Amino acid sequence: MKKVLYKLTAVCLLVMFFANHASAQQKIILLNGKTIYPTSYSIGEMFVNYKLEGDSQKRLRLIDKYDVFSVIDAENKEEILYKPVDSLDFSIDDARLYMDGENAARIYFNKPGVRISSAGVGLASGILSFYSLPIPFFYGIAITQRNPKKIQLPEEFKNMENNEAFRFGYNREARSIKMKQSLKYGYISLGVSLATLFLIIK
């Protein structure tokens, strides 16, 4: 019985150790909603300097201070670096909601129609041979001019749909996703089209 208790105690201590270690992880939170997990960092006048796990002693990574929202140290204390310059900038609370919107779009936004239509444009434009190269690019620009008509979110986040800052971040990231997908599928299908045309002519 004592051995069982000792083992349970040891397991609990290990769980507590790793839980504390995980919660104490340093973070650099960027204004685009992404998070960097450095092993160390320092804040300079213009840049945040940091190292990632596996970096050599001499290597030092830099990120523009104005691209950083906040840093969280090993004690889980947050230092806000973001500062609104004028009344047109988001407040700190709205900036958090904006980043939440960007992250929500990365997780939930899905538009298969963009991939299908871009692939179709790439295939069709192949008949123009060399002159078809800019077509997928211009098509990508065209389809990203409009925001998504409907925000794709699970039911528990539906209350965020009408928040202006959240929606602004969501729409911006959704347009970026659409552009990347459009270029990817447009140029892949264009390559297939040109290769097929080349084989037919040959």
pLDDT in 10s for each residue of the chain, 202 residues:
434 333 433 334 334 434 344 445 899 999 998 999 999 999 998 999 999 998 888 888 999 999 999 999 999 999 999 988 887 789 999 999 999 999 999 999 888 888 899 999 988 888 887 788 889 999 999 988 888 877 888 877 778 888 899 999 999 999 999 999 999 999 999 988 888 887 887 6
The reported pTM is 0.73
Q: For residue 70, what are the β-bridge partners?
A: 29, 80
Beta strand ranges found along 23-130 (DSSP E): 27-30, 35-36, 40-43, 47-51, 61-64, 68-72, 78-80
Tokens 């692939």 sit on residue: 119
What are the structural domain ranges in the chain? 2-80, 92-201
At the topology level, CATH places domain 2-80 in SH3 type barrels. (2.30.30)
